[in-house]
Amino acid sequence: YFEWYAGRRIIPPKTLKLEWFKNESFSFPPLLEHQELGKFLELEGPYYPELIRLFLCFASSNEGIMQSVVKCKLTKLDGPTLKEVAGLSGDGSMKPQPFNFGDFEELTTFRDFQRNLETTNYTKFLAGGMKKNSRLISFIITWMLKPRLHNHAQMSRDDIFLMHVIKKKIKIDWVSVVNDCIWKARRKEDGPIPYALLLSRTF
């Protein structure tokens, strides 16, 4: 624990009030509500860095679902648990993949999000040139749905794909997305830990 996990950084959690954006006439909140993300995005309160690090240190896999013992209690990041604490849908059985969606091609999809097709730099998937609502969704993805510590203004292929299925109103297995993101963080030697509020609610 002290060698690999004690100093792990925690990604600072963010909170978003969808109702405020709806009142300001933004068009993206219904897309996130369709994904049943309202409760998750509005999570707030304390989080517990040491318990989170212990959870990650002793984590094991049960058919791809992360589980660990914290405070003498077995905690699973499965469908019922994440539904109860954050309203997330899915059961962890299906990770969305681009090859499951024949109309997904990242460059074409990224182009559809742009304000000005002539001035867009297509060698980097930068969020700055996007239409207003698309840009906000991109930041929600990089800050909250698949959070990271840096480079929030540049989308990855996974980010573009996630925006694609959100905009197409294709239901996503968020239990799978959360587990995948945390497993990736655990495998990296100094990977920052995401979902601090979500994890703290499960203990």
pLDDT, position 122: 57
Tell me, yes or no, whether 87 and 177 share the same domain: yes
Tell me, yes or no, whether 65 and 153 share the same domain: no
Tell me, yes or no, whether 36 and 86 share the same domain: yes
Tell me, yes or no, whether 13 and 112 share the same domain: no
Total domains, the chain: 2
**Owner of token pair 């989080």:** 47
Tell me, yes or no, whether 163 and 198 share the same domain: no
pLDDT confidence of 98, banded at 50, 70, 90?
very low
Tell me, yes or no, whether 165 and 200 share the same domain: no
Tell me, yes or no, whether 82 and 6 share the same domain: yes
**Owner of token pair 């239901």:** 171
Q: Kindly report, residue by residue over 68-87, the tens digit of the pLDDT.
A: 999 899 999 999 999 999 99
Tell me, yes or no, whether 40 and 127 share the same domain: no
Q: Kindly report, residue by residue over 162-175, the tens digit of the pLDDT.
A: 888 898 898 899 99
Does the pLDDT value for residue 97 go beyond 60?
A: no
Question: Measuring CA to CA, how many Å separate 38 from each of 15, 79, 102, 105, 183?
Answer: 10, 16, 29, 28, 24
Tell me, yes or no, whether 88 and 127 share the same domain: no
pLDDT confidence of 7, banded at 50, 70, 90?
confident
Tell me, yes or no, whether 143 and 189 share the same domain: no
Tell me, yes or no, whether 177 and 86 share the same domain: yes
Tell me, yes or no, whether 4 and 82 share the same domain: yes
Strand partners, 10: 193
Q: Which domain holds residue 48?
A: 1-93+173-203
pLDDT, position 91: 79
3-class SS at 203?
Answer: coil
Instruction: Indicate yes or no: pTM above 0.75.
Output: yes
Does the pLDDT value for residue 156 go beyond 90?
A: no
3-state per-residue secondary structure call for 53-116: HHHHHCCEEECCEEEEEECCEEEECCHHHHHHHHCCCCCCCCCCCHHHCCCCCHHHHHHHCECC
pLDDT confidence of 99, banded at 50, 70, 90?
very low
